Structure 1
Amino acid sequence: MDRVLRVNGGRPLQGELRVRGAKNFVPKAMVAALLGETPSVLKNVPLILDVDVVSRLLRLHGVKVEFDQSEGVLTMDPTSVELAHVADIDAHAGSSRIPILFCGPLLHRLGEAFIPDLGGCNIGGRPIDFHMDSLRAFGAKVEKRDSGIHISAEGGLYGTQIELPYPSVGATEQTLLTAVRAQGLTELRNAAVEPEIMDLVSVLQKMGAIISVDTDRTIRIEGVDSLSGYTHTALSDRIEAASWASAALATGGDIFVRGAHQPDMTTFLNTFRKIGGAFDVQEDGIRFWHPGSDLKAIMMETNVHPGFMTDWQQPLVVALTQANGLSIVHETVYEKRFGFTEALTAMGAQIQLYRECLGSSPCRFAQKNFKHSAVISGPTKLHGADIQVPDLRGGFSHLIAALAAEGQSNVSGVGVIARGYEHFTSKLSLLDADFEDISEA
């Protein structure tokens, strides 16, 4: 069913909501539970589609999964892990890319693993070469088949040295989940060091892993023979918190985001303030609001942590359509992330896309045929329109635009937003948004 929301925009979002565990961490911590020989307990878990997908995949592999949704507590017992049927994995994985992270743990537990063709949001190349090369470096045999990829490690896995050409979050996670039980020492250079990665390191350390992280993006892992389960509270979702903050700014609203964590959002908060947004850090969350004065145009570049997160970019671009002057945004992480601006332009925004690097230095997309820089001229009045959601973050950004626009918008395909935003329609109701679900049964 193509879920459609009819939004009557032009009114400020005001109220309070809560964000729970990070979508970019929780599913990975669930996969880590496969490595343990005793049950694991994960707390602060959001009710999102990615959690449901990984829960089903774990059950397919013999893991007992219990989810107390009201409390946000997952219990996972991996004592009876088994290899799932190929067709079942393919059917349950859907568009998720999480199955690729099952490889290392399954190789350790069963000696083999299988992953189907991978999906995910269409925002640019997310090659799995990093993952496969990493597994080969540990001694795994990778075999491509018509239905997907079969990986085996009959002789076990061994520590290795890996240097990533780019600090990929997924490749770093793959290496961590594989190295912790490989024989010997693994050194990973040019690793990703996002807060979600560091929380995964904390989980693995609780399980018995030996991991050190240097300031030069080098992670060293000493393999151990066995790991136990863990009990851990997931860090809050900094992407969802920033998305609601951007919604407050774009609509002229005032939102208290319970669970928002300042240290994980430092770069976003600096940028939010430069634009003219106001915030107040409190003990249990952050209040974000539009102070009523004119918003200011800025120059912004996305980058890996501790830079400005690419997933923060899209919702904030909606707010930048209401800023005075020319804002320049240089996207350096995903080359096709500006596809969502087409709908904003149809709603009245003035956005021009360029192939050149409109930033302080050329990025890896320089001299390539990708429109990865944007110039936003504002302020412009947005008007309602019919919108088709393209992906998770772009979809939420379209929803923000519809809420900020004058008039009525029909936003189609909003079901994808549930992949990363827990109870997002209920939260819209808490913020006094004017909308209705007009999906056809």
Structure 2
Amino acid sequence: MGVVADAEHATITGRRGASGSPDVRFLIDEECTLAADASTLKIVGGTPLRGEVTVRGAKNLVPKAMVAALLGSTPSRLRNVPDVLDVDVVSSLLELHRVSIDRTDGEVTMDPGSVTSAEPSRLNVLAGSSRIPILMCGPLLHRLGKAFIPDLGGCRIGDRPIDFHLDALRQMGATVDKEPEGLYLSAPEGGLRGTKIELNFPSVGATEQVLLSAVLANGITELRNAAVEPEIMDLISVLQKMGALITVHSNRVLRIEGVDKLYGYDHTAIPDRLEAASWACAALATKGDITVLGAEQPSMLTFLNVFRKVGGQFEVNDGGDGKPRSIRFWHPGGALSAMALETDVAPGFQTDWQQPLVVALSQADGLSIVHETVYENRLGFTDALNKMGAHIQVYRECLGGSTCRFNQSGYLHSAVISGPAKLHGAELVIPDLRGGFSYLIAALAAEGESTVHGLELIYRGYEGFSAKLRGLGANFTAA
């Protein structure tokens, strides 16, 4: 994947050859705006999904591990890399900073030996397509003493403020100047320094920021109320392989002792537990049977408990018979069970699991309650499900669980789902990555034909999506 930029236009092409799904092309005009050609599927629902799909490295780990390569004095190699659009974007960001990238199927090698600053105008070509640039601040401040961050994109499921990131960098001594085109950061004389930081909320992004910034800082950094998702733990493993000194204490406390130098790593990314859960929910909602190759039980314990309570069945293969590790998910027949559910940061029920599961809960017998506590706007996707025949009402109050930080804030962050509902086909526009997958699950479970627009958001995080659907027996055509 490459970037061509001149005074008039720039084109970024995401590779999709091996996966079989359509090419996704972006055209950037002279105003440096990013627009994607719409991808559309016509889906005829009502057919149970059956077969196998393979998940590779976690979308929420791989781009961050690629950024970590900036910290090394020697090349890094990352394995089990999915061919998704987010990896294309991060590869381009690194290449703009003169990191040499070599990508083969499932593997990327990064040589940061000639890192330089990128032109703001060229970075702004990617503005709005990714939130990864903010995580490059710490590594660039260490390598170059300065960094530029363009406007940030990502799924529109909440504010996702970067204040946590900037506050942490300021506490480590960085200076932040806001200009019309973005943020300019500079390191203090002598480099970033360790400090004590406590997050108001265990933000994944802010925890990643502190880790990537503190490993080469002078002194010790203590981070309290840190996120502890499996992807965070895997990033810590990457950094430890590079020579970092990071201790994980109880009660969400991380202690990072700054070192003088880091080296490249060789690492295999953990499998994508979020994609695995999405396919599990697809099996449940369509009354199907899907084996997810590459899925592993330890990072999915909380999801598996909920999946079983709703009425789904699963079988874990740990690879002891010589076969790849996998989890088989299926609908055993009969009625699904309604339940009360509350999302939370790890080790709780992950917010990314919530949206696909809501579609399955629309088919459960009785009233289910979902309380979203992580992102304030993540229940907006239910409007489209109601148009398809679901019975979902959203509320501003905290229902079915503890009082969360969105209480009395005006956000519709609780839902009551009445089922089973008879879903019918509809015209759908994908709003975000997980919500988009949920629309597709609903379309596959519904009677009649649905037209789903905006598949380019799905390609951000699901490798070979169309090929996987085809392999599961889904009835669809590209429109």
Please classify the TM superposition score into its range, dividing by the shorter chain length.
over 0.9
Work out the CA distance in 1 between the residues paired with 2:156 and 2:164: 18
Residue 115 (structure 1) aligns with: 149
2:79 alignment partner AA: K
Structure ranking higher in helix proportion? 1
What residue in structure 1 maps to residue 85 of structure 2?
A: 49
- 2:98 counterpart of 1:98: no
Kindly report which structure 2 residues correspond to 1:289-304, keeping only aligned pairs within 5 A, or say none.
289-304=330-345
Residue 157 of structure 2 aligns with an amino acid whose one-letter code is: I
Match for residue 26 of structure 1?
62
Give yes or no for the alignment of 1:159 onto 2:200. no
Q: Does 1:404 align with 2:449?
A: no
**One-letter amino acid of the structure 2 residue matched with residue 213 of structure 1:** V
Matched, 1:276 2:311: yes
Decide which of 207, 213, 225 is 1:178's aligned counterpart. Answer: 213
Query: Quick check: 2:227–2:345 contact (8 Å CA) kept in 1?
Result: yes
Give distance in 2, aligned partners of 1:360 and 1:413: 34
The partner residue of 2:476 within 425, 435, 438 is: 435
TM-score (norm 2): 0.91
Structure 1 position 154, deviation (Å): 4.0
Identity of aligned residues (%): 67
Deviation (angstroms), 1:361 = 1.2
Kept in 1: contact 2:215–2:257 (CA 8 A): yes
Alignment match, 1:195: 230
The answer as to whether partners of 1:53 and 1:93 remain within 8 angstroms in 2 is: no
Return the offset for 1:92. 2.6
AA of the residue aligned to 2:470: S
For residues 426 and 396 of structure 2, the distance between their equivalents in structure 1, rounded to whole angstroms, comes to 27
Structure 2 residue matching 1:125: 3-state secondary structure: coil
CA distance in 1, matches of 2:145, 2:459: 34
Q: State how far apart, in whole Å, the 2-side matches of 1:104 and 1:144 are.
A: 17
Partner deviation per Cα, 1:113-170 (whole Å, 9 max, x = no partner): 0000111111111000000000001100000000000000141110000000000000
Query: How many angstroms does 1:360 deviate by?
Result: 2.3
How many angstroms does 1:294 deviate by?
0.7
Which of 244, 259, 263 is equivalent to 2:298?
263
Query: d(CA) in 2 for partners of 1:66 and 1:93?
Result: 24
Partner of 1:236: 271
Distance 2:193 2:412 in 1: 41
1:335 maps to amino acid = E
> Are the aligned partners of 1:45 and 1:234 in contact in 2 as well (CA < 8 Å)?
yes
Deviates more, 1:214-223 or 1:84-93: 84-93
- Letter of the aligned partner of 1:51 in structure 2? V
2:379 is paired with a residue whose SS is helix
Give, in angstroms, the shift of residue 264 of structure 1: 0.2
Tell me the equivalent position of 1:79: 113
Aligned with 1:291: secondary structure? coil
The answer as to 2:348 corresponding to 1:337 is no
In 1, distance between residues paired with 2:117 and 2:205? 23
Note the aligned Cα RMSD (angstroms). Answer: 0.6
* Whole-angstrom CA distance in 2 between matches of 1:201 and 1:293: 43
Shift of 1:95: 2.0
* Residue 433 (structure 2) pairs with residue 392 (structure 1): yes
| CA positional deviation for 1:221 | 0.2
The code of the aligned residue for 2:44 comes to: N
Shift of 1:374: 0.2
3-state SS of 2:309 partner: helix
Normalising by structure 1, report the TM-score. Answer: 0.98
Letter in 2 for 1:48: V
Name 2:94's counterpart in structure 1: 58
Contact 2:128 2:151 in 1 (8 A): no
Residue aligning to 2:454: 413
1:93 Cα deviation after fit: 4.3
Point out where structure 2 has 5 or more consecutive residues left out of the alignment: 1-36, 319-324
Report the Cα distance in structure 1 between the residues aligned to 2:352 and 2:379, rounded to whole angstroms. Answer: 12
Summarize deviations over 1:198-235 as a string: whole Å, max 9, x none. 00000000000000001110000000011000000000
Please point out which of 409, 418, 433 is paired with 1:368. 409
The CA distance in 2 between the partners of 1:92 and 1:58, in whole Å, is 12
Residue 322 of structure 1 aligns with an amino acid whose one-letter code is Q
Pairing 1:2–2:8 present: no
- Assess if the C-alpha contact under 8 Å between 1:42 and 1:233 holds in 2: yes
Return the match for 1:317 from 358, 364, 374. 358
Q: Which of 139, 142, 147 does residue 181 from structure 2 map onto?
A: 147
Q: How far 1:94 moved relative to its partner? A: 3.8
* Distance in 2 separating the partners of 1:31 and 1:240: 22
* Inter-partner Cα distance in structure 1 for 2:93 and 2:362: 41
Q: Which one-letter code corresponds to 1:56 in the other structure?
A: S
* CA–CA separation in structure 2 for the residues paired with 1:94 and 1:296: 40
Partner of 1:355: 396
Q: Which residue of 2 aligns with 1:382?
A: 423
| Count of aligned pairs between the two proteins | 436
